[in-house]
Amino acid sequence: MNQSTELEYAGFWIRVGASLIDTILLMVIILPVMMAFYGEGYLESELIVKGPMDFMLSWVAPAVVVIAFWIMRQATPGKMALQLRILDANTGAAPSTGQCIGRYFAYFVSLIPIGLGLVWVGFDARKQGWHDKLAGTVVVRRRADMSARFSKSESQP
């Protein structure tokens, strides 16, 4: 069976789920460190960046970790949990390092017009957000084999 029949584009809601998993993981790791460093006032402050440690742990470290996961695993932990992978849109191969870096920074472009570039995933034929289009990537998952699911459920008492 070739790759095109085994894979399908990952839609909006499953990608939202993967992002939520990633966000929760980052919060569980980063928030206690930030609270220990800045105290309880960390959550009450209206500043976007509270200081150098906040900048490094809240902005730089997540960027480095996410890009590293994309390069090494073609997915973040959230995408891995939901069996999603990022591929080069033209070749179906792993994205290049440049594509991964560009994809990360293209998220900010996708957010600018009230998140329209992210919501675009729900309307695009290949389920690409603007960040995917700009980086030349797609997010895929294994196609669900419905016939196998039905035959298993019918055979069980």
Rg for the chain, CA atoms, rounded: 18
- pLDDT value of position 2: 47
- pLDDT value of position 3: 52
**Cα 21 to Cα 57: distance, rounded to the nearest angstrom:** 18
- pLDDT value of position 145: 59
Residue 10, domain extent = 3-155
Structural domain total, the chain = 1
Instruction: Count how many residues are written for the chain.
Output: 157
Please give the structure tokens belonging to residue 92. Answer: 């179906």
- pLDDT value of position 149: 47
3-state secondary structure of 5: helix
- pLDDT value of position 150: 47
- pLDDT value of position 100: 98
pLDDT beneath 50: ranges in the chain = 1-2, 146-151, 153-155, 157
Helices (H), 74-145: 77-81, 97-111, 116-119, 130-135
